[in-house]
Each structure stands twice: as C-alpha cells, then as structure tokens.
Amino acid sequence: MKSFLDLFRHPGFVLVNLANLLEGVCYFGMVPLLIAFLQRHFACDDILAGWILSYYVGLVTLLMFPGGALCDRLGSRRALIVALGLVGLGRTVLICSTGWGLGWALLGLTLMASGTGIFQPCVYAAVKEYTRGEQAAPGYSWLYALMNLGSVVWFLLSPGVRGWGDIEGVYTLLTLVTWCNGAFQWLFFRQSGYREIEPSSAGVSVWNLRFLVFIWLLVPIRSLVAHLTYTLPSAVFRTYPGFADRLEYCFSLNNFLLFLGTPLLTYLTLRWELMSLMIMGSLVSALSLVFLMLPAQTSWLLLFVVVFSLGEAVWQSRFFEYVAHQAPAGKVGAAMSFANFPWFVAKTAVGSYSGWMLQRFIPPQGAQRPDILWGTYLLAALLTPLSLFLLRGWLTQGLRATETELSAQ
C-alpha cells in the first residue's frame, strides 16, 4: 500500500493528476449533454446528432496518433499546455456557435478533439516519468481513478447548474474551468521526472502480433463503454422518465465507483495474471446489460451502473499500464495512441448506428423494446471475454514473457 501513496510526494505527479481530474470534470460534464445541445440549437435528429458525436469522439482517438508523437517530441509539460489551450479554444467556439451556425459548432468540436487527442497520451506518458517498478500499476490506477473523481464531483453539481443556466450554463462554466486548468499548469507544472536515456529492455515492440490481436479483441467491450455516451442518456430520458432529471447521477455513480474501485481492485489484484483480469472484468461489464433488459425500474438501472463499473474498474487501468510497458523508451505517447486505435473504431462505429437503433427500439413516441436493444448489445459485448478465453493460451505466451521481465525491474 505504501507505493500507492508515495507517488503523491512528487509535485509533478500531483500536478499531472490535477490536470487530468479537472479535464475529467469538463469532458464528462460536456459530452453526455452534447446530443441534447445539438438537437436544441441546430435541429438535429437522433441520427445526425449521433453522427456528429461520433465525429467528435472518433476524432479524439484518431488524433491521438499525431498527439502522442507531439507529446514525445515536446515533452509532457509543453504538450499538456498546448492541449489545454486547444480544448479551451474549442469549447469557447462551441458555446458561441449557437448564434453562428452548425459549421462553427463542428469547428469547435474539431479544436476540442485536437486538444484532447494530445492531452490523453500526454498524461499517461507523464505518469510513466514519475513511476518505476511496483509504482507503475498504482500510478496508472490513480490517474484513471482521479479522472473519474472529477466527473463524480461535476455530475453531483450539474443538475443544480442546469437548473440555473441550462445546458448553456454548464458549457460556459466548464469552459472557464478549462482555461483555469491550462493557466495553472503553465504557472506551476515543471517537468522533473525520471529520464530514460537508453531503450528499456522490458517492453516488446508494439507491433508484436499477440499485442495487436489483444487490443483489437477489446473492441466489443469498448463499444459498450461508448454506448454510455451515445445510447444511455436518450434511453434514460425515454424509458425512465421519472429519473430523467437526475440523469447525471447515473454517470456520477459510475465514476464514483471507478474512483474507489480502480485503485482498490488494482491493489488487491496486483499479482494476478493480466489475461485473467481482462476476461473477468469484461465479462462482468457485458453481463451488466441484463439489468437494462428488465422492466424499467430505477433500481435495475442503478444496479446496471454498479455492476458495469466494477467490471470496468478491473480491466481498464491495467490495460493502460500494460500498453505503457510495451513502449520503447521515449515513445509512450505514440504507443498509447497506437493502442487506442481500436477505441477509435469502436466509438465511430457505435455512432454510425446508435441513432438508428434508438429510433427502432426506443423511439420518443410509440412502442418501445429496450430489451431487444440491450440484448443485442449484450451479445456483441460477450465477444470480448469469449475470444480472450479461447485465445488465452496463445495470447498469454507473449504476456507472460513481458510480465516476467517487468517483475525483474
């Protein structure tokens, strides 16, 4: 447990996590309301709004490729400041676009995606600078957990802010937080972590075939994560009308459980085999959809969030840890970007059909069949734990070698 707490003695580690926490507040505060924002101001239907959201979140992941390379070139401090500046500018343009037209909204989303595409690999690269040996797993678990803590805080405040200024008030306040975050990092963050002079002997090439297969097998379960943004908000508004005004509480509970569960479960499973964690965690997350197939009661909705979150806490941060260890020295940003390309595929694919599925099975008016919609997504998500289990022996050959080398550091 000592390695979990000693990390916070380093100012650089604290500031990187602070930046990530505040950006978690802003990102998770804006994205769940984006479809409603577009439909209110630009007369978008479910399908068009889903496509635009798909464009945004897909572009975030796609731009991690140049963003990761830029991070490796500039260093984590300068890249972090550039990223927050772009995100702040994009959010400012998005707010102003309500009087300018949809084209300006798309420009704002593009700038936001560019900044986030730099920011995400940057913070993971920065964490590697401040961790060594047994501190790696807690370092990445804290990064993921504190990002979710930020969203917990915001989701608890969001209903009150919406009551005061509606969605526009939420977006304005979060844009101000973004600019303050960037200014604080520019004033106080100094890059002073560990330096890697020689390429590490621990990590295999990111082009290793087993590693490539491994990250692509996660597409089904990562698509389910995307549905929390694309599908769940509209489904709650239409299927659980009594809970619609408290939609943020679903996301708050999800992120609160990730904040508590990620470091705790990482600590409890520190010596467990990576593949076992991935299989169990993805299976739990997939099976959580059973609760959304039951009659529309708030208790089932909340139970879905709890079970899904516990599964996600098991596999998500350990995946990032593993990717960082695969990276050659000085290439963590690029490796993180490369490993997230399947996430780009998942998010863009979900956006291309989520609106059609909502109109077909959970329309605003008429007969609704949420059991069919969520049952379809359940069967698709089960492909991840099933394929990981069937290929476990072949995949583990490469993973075991890496884990042995890492434990020797």
The secondary structure of 93-116 as a DSSP string is: HHHHGGGT-HHHHHHHHHHHHHHH
Euclidean distance between CA atoms 322 and 396, whole angstroms: 13
Only one residue has tokens 């409890």, namely 268
Which pLDDT belongs to residue 325? 65
In the predicted model, what is the mean pLDDT of residues 331-340?
Answer: 70
Burial of 82-114, coded b for 16+ CB within 10 Å and e otherwise, reads bbbbbbbbbbbbbbebeeeeeeebbbbbbbbbb
- Do residues 35 and 20 touch, judged by C-beta distance below 8 A? no
8-state DSSP, 245: G
Whats the size of the chain, residue-wise?
409
- Which structure tokens are listed for 376? 């379809």
Lowest mean pLDDT among 99-103, 287-291, 402-406: 402-406
CA–CA dist 244, 246 (Å, integer)? 5
381's tokens: 């998500």
* Per-residue pLDDT tens over the stretch 254-265: 878 888 888 888
Of 396 and 14, the one with more pLDDT: 14
pLDDT at residue 350 in the model = 85
- What was the pLDDT predicted at 198? 41
Q: Which residue has the higher pLDDT, 82 or 14?
A: 82
Band (105; pLDDT cuts 50, 70, 90): very high
Is residue 409 predicted with pLDDT exceeding 60? no
Say which amino acid occupies 268. Answer: L
What gap in Å lies between CA 85 and CA 225, rounded to an integer? 27
Q: Does the pLDDT value for residue 195 go beyond 50?
A: no
What angle do the packed helices 102-129 and 64-74 form, to 10 degrees?
Answer: 50
Q: What is the mean pLDDT of residues 118-134?
A: 76
Per mean pLDDT, which range of 58-67, 188-197, 275-284 is the poorest? 188-197
Question: Do 147 and 24 touch, CB atoms closer than 8 A?
Answer: yes
Mean pLDDT of 287-301: 92
Q: What tokens were used for 206? A: 């990111």
Contact (CB, 8 A) for 204 and 398: yes
Residues 6+ apart with CB under 8 A from 312: 225, 258, 281, 285
Q: Which single residue is written with the structure tokens 């702040």?
A: 88
Residue environment code for 204-219, b if the CB has 16+ CB neighbours within 10 A, otherwise e: bebeeebbeebbebbb
Write the pLDDT tens digit of every residue in 196-250. 434 444 444 545 677 788 888 989 998 998 888 788 888 888 888 777 667 767 7
Least confident of 21-25, 82-86, 187-191: 187-191
Higher pLDDT, 204 or 114: 114
304 or 29, higher pLDDT = 304
Using pLDDT thresholds of 50, 70 and 90, give the confidence band for residue 137.
low
Amino acid at 347: K
Residue 2 CB burial class (10 angstroms; 0-12, 13-18, ≥19)? exposed
**Mean of the pLDDT values across residues 323-347?**
70
Please state whether the predicted TM-score (pTM) of the whole model is above 0.75. Answer: no
What confidence tier does 133 reach under pLDDT thresholds 50, 70, 90? Answer: low
R_g of the chain computed on alpha carbons = 20
358 pLDDT more than 60: yes
Q: Do 312 and 258 touch, CB atoms closer than 8 A?
A: yes
125 vs 285: which has the higher pLDDT: 285
Looking at residue 282, what is its pLDDT?
93
- Looking at 43-135, list the stretches that DSSP marks H as alpha helix, in order from N- to C-terminal side: 46-62, 64-74, 76-96, 102-129
The answer to whether residue 35 scores a pLDDT higher than 50 is yes
Q: How many angstroms separate the CA atoms of 145 and 282, rounded?
A: 18
Range with top average pLDDT, 65-79, 135-149, 237-251, 352-366: 352-366
Average pLDDT of the chain to the nearest whole number:
81
Tell me what pLDDT residue 106 has: 95
Please give the Cα distance from 291 to 28 (Å, whole number).
24
Structure tokens at 23: 């950006």
Q: What is the mean pLDDT of residues 68-95?
A: 89
Q: Which residue has the tokens 């520190």?
A: 270
Q: Which two tokens stand for residue 324?
A: 């960082």
DSSP class per residue in 167-192: HHHHHHHHHHHHHHHHHHHHHH----
Q: List pLDDT tens digits, range 375-393.
A: 999 999 999 999 999 998 8
Q: Which two tokens stand for residue 382?
A: 């089960």
Q: 51: buried, middle or exposed (CB in 10 Å: 19+, 13-18, 0-12)? A: middle
**Average pLDDT score over residue span 2-12:** 65
Q: Is the pLDDT reported for residue 41 higher than 60?
A: yes
